[in-house]
Structure formats: C-alpha cells, structure tokens
Amino acid sequence: MLVFVAVLAAALIIVFVYGVVIYNRLVDLKHAVSQAWSNIQVLLKQRHDELPKLVEVCKRYMKFEQATLEKVMQARNRVFQAQQQGDLERLGAAEGQLRQGLMNLFAVAENYPELKADRAFQHLESRITELENAIADRREFYNAAVNANNVRIEQFPDVILARWFNFKPFELLRFEADEIRDVELGSLFG
C-alpha cells in the first residue's frame, strides 16, 4: 500500500511539473506574439510619421498630382485606424492600399526631375523603403510567432491547459492578393 501511495504521489508530481512546463511554454508563445506585434507597431508608427513629410515635399513639385497624394494620405489614415482598433483583416487591406499608393507616388515622381533631385525627397523615399522592408520582415516574424502559438494551443496535451487557462489563438497578418502578386509595371506608368 505504501508503494502504491508513493507511485501515485510520484505520478502526480510528474504530471504537475509537466503541466507547469506546458503552461510556461504557452505563456512564452503568447508573449512572443505580443512582442512581434509591438515591433510591427513601432515601424508602422515611424512610417505613419514620415508619410506627411513625403507628401509635403511632393506637393511643392507635383501641382497636378493631388489625387495621388490624397490616396496615399487616405490609405495612411485607414492603416492607422485599423491598427488602433486591432483589426488585422482591415489592417492587411489598408496596408495593401498604402503600398500601392506609394508605388504609384514613386512612379509618378519619375516625371518630376526636380522632385527626384530634391534631397528631402530622396531621404524620405529611402527611409520609407527601409521601413517597408522592415515591416515585411517583422510581419514574417509576427506570423511565425502566431503560427507557433496557434499550433501549440491545439496540440495534445497542451490543448487541455490552453483551454483551462483560456489561451486564445491569434490572427495572422495577411495582406490583400494585390499585395502579393507581381506588379504590372505598365499599369503604373499608363
């Protein structure tokens, strides 16, 4: 009887320790997703702050391209609103629109040699391009962290603790189909 109690106690201790390990891994994954999202937010904020500067520089040269500039600013505002609301689906769509607007803006800027030669424009174009690349990299990290979390909370035996402690899946950050298909260069200059 004493051996049975000792074996039962040992088994309970092992199950408890295993449960603690699983719980801690789930917490790590949840915080990895939060950290990855925070990194994206920092970059989105930096780009959000740079875009009005770019538009102001462009306004000095591009007197007849107001529609292009307005589309960029409207897309910027949609990105900001979706980000503030935490709506990743709308954020993805708005990001696609903003990127398309920036591609159009940079393509139209080719028609303005004075603008292309402006140091402020060159700096802002370079800075925004760097931010776009960094956002794409961080989106990849974010989606990897989300995937690791979502898979883990569905796997046995983790699913038991995940449900018990109310761990939730996160949404992937997806961009519109326009964002991921090849760019039709003719449409940018036509």
CA–CA separation, 117 vs 80, rounded Å? 30
CA–CA separation, 59 vs 121, rounded Å? 11
Which residues lie below 8 Å from residue 100, measured CB to CB, with a gap of 6+?
A: 75, 178, 179
Instruction: Give the pLDDT confidence score for residue 107 in this predicted structure.
Output: 86
Instruction: Give the pLDDT confidence score for residue 60 in this predicted structure.
Output: 79
**Domains in the chain and their CATH numbers?**
26-189 (1.20.1440.20)
pTM over 0.85: no
Number of H helices, E strands in the chain: 8, 0
Residues 74-94 have a mean pLDDT of: 88
Most confident segment among 2-6, 128-132, 146-150: 146-150
CA–CA separation, 62 vs 180, rounded Å? 29
Per-residue pLDDT band for 142 (boundaries 50, 70, 90) equals: very high
